[in-house]
């Protein structure tokens, strides 16, 4: 639907460098990256608010690199909501229809169902300054949807909301994507949001697009060590391949030997990525398992976090596992407990240093 072909642009000292990506119709596309990486600039470039220095932007195979924002049929929702403070809620929501030529009364009538849908009909005559953060966010979303955009652009829409409002808003976004079939591009640095909503995603670091693809693939099999760190892979171990038989490799990492699936040749430097929830812990020394990586260790710490607990185990290298709190209770895990760790060879994602 929208395609960036080697797009570069400079804003002061910041640069976006040769970004190429494709956002398909109906995608829920996440742009993630650390602060200052260029995510918002990329989002604003999709909106047409910045003109690239080089490269092309295509919309439905037509070049729109220099097309002004008002002609792109995209709507933008900022993290700070950006409601017009001098207009009532209903005038904020109907603003897009008004500037596109609709009469005031018609535009107001048109957006009433939208206000009802987002549960803000009772706020219609209020000014934005009197609304809570969650209410302002729903108004800004309704205002963006009112113009029936082809693409909805969201700049960290959840970051300023409390957890309960976040859940509600995530529900609103999911409905917009699934029921209305809207193409959504969202900037975020939350892995959880990406897990919950994204179908595809791109990772931007220092103005470079360093990974792009299906959300599950980027999150679970990142292309580089930087991406792995950013998408929150809990255990990343640097090591060297010592043997490889038909893709079944042995890797020395952190003083331990791991078995993993990779084409990396013996002697090659690699990074092993192990998700915390792919590590199985057992007590009583049960080492009989189909998992190719089994090792003993001692629990260093147990930190409960909602329904789960993060358990750090020293097994020569310190590895982090995530268990349910019930498992922690059943296994009587506390600091100092001796445990056996099991990790399937297929659960280890190998990043080759040369990639």
Which one, 37 or 75, has the nearer CB to other proteins? 75
Report the DSSP beta bridge partners of residue 348.
Answer: 274
Among 346, 230, 330, smallest CA distance to 278 is for 346
Q: Which helix (H) or strand (E) holds 59?
A: strand 54-59
Which one, 77 or 197, has the nearer CB to other proteins? 77
Q: According to CB under 8 A, which one of 10, 47, 170, 196 is a site residue for other proteins?
A: 47
Q: Please tell me whether residue 265 binds other proteins under the rule CB under 8 A.
A: no
- What is d(CA 26, CA 317) in angstroms, rounded to the nearest whole number? 43
Which one, 152 or 341, has the nearer CB to other proteins? 152
Q: According to CB under 8 A, which one of 24, 25, 36, 86 is a site residue for other proteins?
A: 86
Which one, 182 or 228, has the nearer CB to other proteins? 182
Would you state the torsion angle of the CA atoms of residues 27, 28, 29, 32, taken in this order, to the nearest 10 degrees? Answer: -170
Q: Please tell me whether residue 80 binds other proteins under the rule CB under 8 A.
A: yes
How many positions of this chain bind other proteins (CB under 8 A)?
36
Among 108, 111, 104, smallest CA distance to 146 is for 111
Q: What is the DSSP string of 201-259?
A: EEEEETTEEEEEEEHHHHHHS-SSHHHHHHTT-SEEEEEEEEEEETTEEEEEETTEEEE
Q: Please tell me whether residue 44 binds other proteins under the rule CB under 8 A.
A: yes
Q: Which helix (H) or strand (E) holds 43?
A: helix 39-47
Q: Please tell me whether residue 129 binds other proteins under the rule CB under 8 A.
A: yes
Report the DSSP beta bridge partners of residue 302.
Answer: 311
Q: Please tell me whether residue 114 binds other proteins under the rule CB under 8 A.
A: no
Q: Please tell me whether residue 39 binds other proteins under the rule CB under 8 A.
A: no
Site residues for other proteins, window 295-334 (CB under 8 A)?
none
Q: Please tell me whether residue 123 binds other proteins under the rule CB under 8 A.
A: no
Exposed (0-12), middle (13-18) or buried (19+): which is 236, by Cβ within 10 Å?
middle
Q: For the CB of residue 337, give the shortest distance to other proteins in the complex, in Å.
A: 49
Q: Please tell me whether residue 83 binds other proteins under the rule CB under 8 A.
A: yes
Q: According to CB under 8 A, which one of 45, 136, 166, 183 is a site residue for other proteins?
A: 136
Tokens of 287: 């080492």
- What is d(CA 37, CA 52) in angstroms, rounded to the nearest whole number? 17
Tokens of 306: 């909602």
Q: Which stretch binds other proteins (CB under 8 A): 141-149, 259-267, 285-293, 333-341?
A: 141-149
Q: Please tell me whether residue 127 binds other proteins under the rule CB under 8 A.
A: yes
Answer yes or no: are the C-beta atoms of 77 and 157 closer than 8 Å: yes
Answer yes or no: are the C-beta atoms of 32 and 38 closer than 8 Å: no
Which one, 55 or 149, has the nearer CB to other proteins? 149
Q: Please tell me whether residue 13 binds other proteins under the rule CB under 8 A.
A: no
Q: Please tell me whether residue 147 binds other proteins under the rule CB under 8 A.
A: yes
Site residues for other proteins, window 151-170 (CB under 8 A)?
153
Applying CB under 8 A, the residues found at the interface with other proteins are 12, 44, 47-49, 68-70, 72, 74-78, 80-86, 95-96, 99-100, 127-130, 136, 140, 143-144, 147, 149, 153
């Amino acid at each position: 639907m929208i395609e960036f072909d080697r797009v570069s642009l400079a804003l002061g000292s910041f640069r976006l460098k040769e970004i190429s990506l494709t956002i398909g119709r109906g995608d829920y596309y996440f742009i993630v990256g650390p602060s200052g990486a260029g995510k918002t600039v990329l989002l604003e470039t999709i909106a047409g608010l910045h003109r690239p220095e080089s490269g092309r932007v295509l919309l439905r195979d037509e070049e729109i690199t220099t097309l002004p924002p008002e002609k792109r049929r995209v709507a933008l929702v900022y993290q700070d909501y950006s409601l017009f403070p001098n207009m009532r809620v209903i005038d904020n929501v109907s603003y897009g229809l008004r500037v596109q030529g609709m009469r005031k009364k018609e535009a107001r009538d048109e957006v009433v169902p939208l206000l009802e849908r987002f549960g803000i009909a009772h706020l219609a005559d209020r000014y934005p300054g009197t609304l809570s953060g969650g209410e302002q966010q729903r108004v800004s979303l309704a205002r963006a949807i009112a113009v029936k955009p082809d693409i909805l652009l969201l700049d960290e829409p959840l970051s300023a909301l409390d957890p309960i409002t976040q859940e509600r808003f995530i529900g609103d976004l999911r409905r917009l994507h699934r029921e209305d079939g809207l193409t959504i591009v969202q900037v975020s640095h939350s892995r959880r949001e990406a897990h919950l909503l994204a179908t595809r995603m791109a990772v931007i670091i220092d103005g470079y697009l360093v990974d792009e693809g299906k959300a599950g693939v980027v999150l679970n099999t990142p292309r580089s060590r930087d991406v792995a760190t950013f998408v929150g892979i809990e255990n990343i171990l640097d090591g060297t391949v010592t043997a490889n038989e038909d893709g079944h490799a042995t890797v020395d990492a952190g003083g331990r030997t791991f078995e993993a699936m990779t084409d990396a040749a013996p002697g090659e430097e690699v990074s092993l990525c192990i998700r915390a929830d792919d590590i199985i812990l057992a007590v009583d020394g049960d080492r009989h398992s189909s998992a190719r990586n089994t090792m003993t260790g001692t629990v260093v710490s147990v930190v409960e976090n909602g329904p789960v607990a993060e358990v750090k185990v020293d097994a020569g290298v310190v590895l982090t596992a995530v268990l349910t709190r019930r498992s922690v209770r059943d296994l009587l895990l506390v600091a100092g407990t001796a445990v056996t760790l099991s990790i399937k060879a297929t659960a280890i994602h190998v990043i080759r240093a040369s990639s």
